[in-house]
């Protein structure tokens, strides 16, 4: 009974009774996390950005991350709507995809808000994904993984087709949202801890909370497909996925060093790269693949913030910390 295409078990218009309670729970958790960027004041950020509160290195961190995320959020939204939605037929999964698409619109709006309030030239900020090689290579890497299912005539008939579909899920949920976003999260939250650009930092905290649900949903969807289609996830495919994750870590390492060539507030490009290795190991474990790095988390404060430990608690214990409407306590 696959959750995806060729699925004659699910009428996409008939959501009850629910077959996949986990998908429904992600939807409810997403709704409980509602927020919009305009709730967060930007006056202090504007003052810091236009004054001399920030060093060149700190300004660079802000620019690189606005440059990467401003277009990455739209890429992700387009993948959900234009590539995934057609093939995920279980209605409770589609309900979550619609919720995720809305959250990606909120994230897109966040970067409009940041660009406007800081007075960036839009061509400058939205051109970075073309102009900065370490950003365009990350984007191209995930887009490449999804070329097969983007074709109009793509259908899921065979195990090989299903693996194409899984490549898209790995590319966007595990690599884009689960690895490529995390150096940026650490950079912006690192600045916020030192009272630099706290408005943007808080917006990144909200985005990170949303993204941790997106990653969780994607991983659960992958694992659901695996359990319903036992022949699909071969050892060879597992090795391919591991290689994709380690290639992604290399791209993220280059990005981290380029965004942070010199130490900023005691943080270094190497520290961010280590953090990405730590995150990548957790992602591999979520897919039942062996960890590749064994790198300690160089930023324990990131775990306090939200991320991996809380994600784990969340998925083990079900919604307790996620109840509180728009507010930011986990
Ligand atoms: Fe997003
Ligand atoms: Mn997302």
Give residues whose Cβ lies within 5 Å of ion ligand 1: 73, 104, 107
24-28, 110-114, 152-156: which range is least confident on average?
152-156
What's the pLDDT at 313? 43
Q: Which ligand is nearest to the CA of 100?
A: 2
* Residue 136 or 317, more confident: 136
8-22, 78-92, 224-238, 288-302: which range is least confident on average?
8-22
Whether the CB-CB separation of 316 and 293 falls below 8 Å is answered with no
41-50, 154-163, 262-271, 312-321: which range is least confident on average?
312-321
Residue 57 has pLDDT above 80, yes or no: yes
Query: Could you read off the pLDDT of 270-322 as tens digits, one per residue?
Result: 999 999 999 999 999 999 999 999 999 999 999 876 644 445 444 433 333 44
Q: Which ligand is nearest to the CA of 215?
A: 2
The residue from 26, 113, 182, 206 that is catalytic is: 113
The rounded Å distance from CA 238 to ligand 1 centre is 26
The rounded Å distance from CA 36 to ligand 1 centre is 13
Residue 43 has pLDDT above 70, yes or no: yes
Residue 46 backbone dihedrals phi, psi, to 5 degrees: -60, -40
What's the pLDDT at 5? 66
What's the pLDDT at 304? 74
What's the pLDDT at 120? 94
CA 202/CA 183 separation, integer angstroms? 16
Q: Which ligand is nearest to the CA of 96?
A: 2
* Residue 178 or 18, more confident: 178
pTM score above 0.75: yes
The rounded Å distance from CA 266 to ligand 1 centre is 28
**What's the chain's average pLDDT?**
90
Whether the CB-CB separation of 88 and 4 falls below 8 Å is answered with yes
Q: Which ligand is nearest to the CA of 174?
A: 2
Q: How confident is the model at residue 232 (pLDDT cuts 50, 70, 90)?
A: very high
Whether the CB-CB separation of 230 and 116 falls below 8 Å is answered with no
The rounded Å distance from CA 136 to ligand 1 centre is 17
Top-level CATH class of 42-47+54-321?
Answer: mainly alpha
Helices (H), the chain: 21-32, 43-50, 56-78, 91-118, 122-126, 128-131, 133-144, 147-150, 159-169, 181-193, 198-228, 235-259, 269-286, 300-305, 307-317
**Share of residues in the chain with pLDDT > 90 (%):** 83
- The answer to whether 322 is a known catalytic residue is no
Query: Could you read off the pLDDT of 242-254 as tens digits, one per residue?
Result: 999 999 999 999 9
**Average pLDDT for residues 165-180, to the nearest whole number?**
96
The rounded Å distance from CA 222 to ligand 2 centre is 16
Q: How confident is the model at residue 156 (pLDDT cuts 50, 70, 90)?
A: very high
What's the pLDDT at 321? 43
The rounded Å distance from CA 259 to ligand 1 centre is 20
The rounded Å distance from CA 230 to ligand 2 centre is 28
Q: In whole angstroms, how far apart are CA 2 and each of 6, 18, 82, 175, 232?
A: 8, 14, 20, 23, 12
């Amino acid at each position: 009974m696959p959750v995806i295409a060729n699925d004659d078990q699910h009428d996409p218009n008939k959501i009850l009774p629910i077959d996949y309670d986990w998908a429904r729970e992600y939807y409810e958790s997403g709704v409980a996390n509602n927020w919009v960027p305009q709730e967060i004041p930007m006056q202090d950020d504007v003052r810091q950005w236009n004054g001399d509160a920030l060093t060149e290195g700190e300004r660079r961190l802000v620019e690189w991350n606005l440059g990467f995320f401003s277009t990455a959020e739209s890429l992700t939204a387009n993948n959900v709507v234009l590539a995934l939605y057609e093939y995920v037929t279980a209605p409770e999964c589609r309900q979550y995809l619609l919720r995720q698409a809305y959250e990606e619109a909120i994230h897109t709006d966040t970067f409009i808000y940041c660009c406007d309030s800081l007075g960036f030239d839009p061509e400058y900020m939205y051109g970075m994904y073309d102009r900065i090689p370490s950003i365009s290579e990350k984007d191209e890497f995930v887009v490449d993984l999804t070329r097969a299912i983007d074709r109009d005539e793509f259908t899921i008939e065979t195990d090989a087709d299903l693996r194409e579909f899984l490549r898209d899920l790995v590319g966007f949920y595990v690599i884009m949202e689960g690895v490529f976003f995390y150096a940026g999260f650490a950079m912006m939250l690192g600045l916020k801890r030192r009272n630099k650009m706290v408005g943007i930092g808080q917006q990144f905290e909200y985005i990170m909370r949303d993204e941790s649900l997106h990653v969780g949903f994607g991983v659960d969807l992958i694992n659901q497909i695996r359990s319903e289609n036992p022949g699909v996830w071969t050892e060879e495919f597992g090795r391919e996925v591991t290689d994709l994750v380690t290639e992604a870590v290399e791209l993220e390492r280059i990005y981290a060093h380029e965004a942070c060539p010199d130490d900023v507030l005691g943080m270094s490009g190497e520290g961010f790269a280590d953090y990405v290795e730590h995150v990548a190991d957790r992602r591999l474990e979520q897919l039942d693949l062996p960890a590749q790095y064994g790198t300690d988390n160089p930023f324990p404060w990131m775990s306090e913030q939200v991320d991996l430990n809380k994600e784990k608690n969340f998925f083990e214990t079900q919604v307790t910390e996620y109840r509180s409407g728009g507010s930011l306590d986990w």
